[in-house]
Amino acid sequence: MAICNVCHNHCDIKENALGICMSRRCVDGSVKSDNYGYITSIALDPIEKKPLRMFYPGTKILSVGSYGCNLRCPFCQNNEISYGLDPKIMRRVARYISPKELVNIALSCRDDGNIGIAFTYNEPLVGYEYVTDTTRIAKEHGLKTVLVSNGCASKDIYTQLEVDAMNIDLKGFTDEYYRDVLRGDRRMVMDFIEYSARRCHVEVTCLIVPGLNDSDEEIQELSSWLASLNDGKGKKEIALHISRFFPQFRMRDRDATDVGLIYHLADLARDHLENVFTGNC
């Protein structure tokens, strides 16, 4: 039995069992990544799709995902690889790619506009060891690395990261929403963003779900807090992506977010931030 402290769940895991994310296992009394190198998705994507709008725009990035997640968002668009999954099936459908092999694949795509490797699709940090190992080799070969994360990782984990850019979700700005709907921890995400924004390029994404996080006040508070992080060094640097929700997975009881509302909330955010983008509109 061992406790995993990678994220807010602090799972107490019995020998040979998995934590909530279904991707970390207790082996011989310590918790190890169970999805290391098991890649379920790989694609050469435009960098804007991460989304990153202010980091090497117009380029592409080799994007990879494994399986497992530590949140329980009922509207997850990647639910097949994020949760409610059977790790045995995931391992069968995945392809094992070692960090070195992945770097070689990324290098072979350079002529197609590839600048590096993005860890995305599922939550990469439930398997942070693969991210850190691959990033180290990628850097030696001059590749950029990008992390797309929900931001629910402990300080011990996010302080080890040496990626060049991140897109971090800040899915709302109330503790209740994070706790009751997402099963996450807003404070942990805010600490992650605050730390990372001082060290690498950071953009933030907020998905607006009707009736849950769509008030004027909430987006004003969220964007005002993001603006406060810039703290005089390169004012208004953090870009915010405000995205539209679509009914899917376990949340089909409401309509897609009204496009007009997305534009309205983006305008409110622009009172605080210079770079606000709308998504899925």
Contact residues: ligand SF4, CB under 6 A? 4, 6-7, 9-11, 19-21, 24, 70, 126
Measured from the CB atom, is 11 or 131 closer to ligand SF4?
11
Shortest CB 67 distance to ligand SF4, Å: 12
Shortest CB 211 distance to ligand SF4, Å: 27
Looking up tokens 């933030």 gives 204
Alpha-carbon distance of 205 to 51, in angstroms, equals: 8
Shortest CB 205 distance to ligand SF4, Å: 21
87, two tokens: 């790790």
Shortest CB 6 distance to ligand SF4, Å: 4
Alpha-carbon distance of 22 to 175, in angstroms, equals: 24
Assign 26 to helix, strand or coil. strand
Alpha-carbon distance of 276 to 254, in angstroms, equals: 25
Shortest CB 123 distance to ligand SF4, Å: 8
Measured from the CB atom, is 157 or 190 closer to ligand SF4?
157
Shortest CB 184 distance to ligand SF4, Å: 11
Alpha-carbon distance of 148 to 192, in angstroms, equals: 13
Measured from the CB atom, is 168 or 222 closer to ligand SF4?
168
The helix-helix angle for 216-228 and 259-269 (nearest 10°) equals 40
Measured from the CB atom, is 22 or 206 closer to ligand SF4?
22
Which phi-psi region, left, alpha or beta, contains residue 56 (left: φ > 0; alpha: ψ -120 to 50)? left
Shortest CB 56 distance to ligand SF4, Å: 30
Exposure string (b/e) for 197-215, b if CB count within 10 Å is 16 or more? beebbbbbbbbbbbebbbe
Assign 188 to helix, strand or coil. helix
Shortest CB 30 distance to ligand SF4, Å: 12
Phi, psi torsion values for 79, nearest 5 degrees: -65, -25
Alpha-carbon distance of 120 to 243, in angstroms, equals: 17
Measured from the CB atom, is 126 or 212 closer to ligand SF4?
126
Give yes or no for a cis peptide into 51 (omega within 30° of 0): yes
Closest residue to ligand SF4, judged by C-beta, is 19
Measured from the CB atom, is 178 or 277 closer to ligand SF4?
178
Measured from the CB atom, is 70 or 120 closer to ligand SF4?
70
Phi, psi torsion values for 9, nearest 5 degrees: -75, -25
Measured from the CB atom, is 185 or 214 closer to ligand SF4?
185
Alpha-carbon distance of 264 to 190, in angstroms, equals: 24
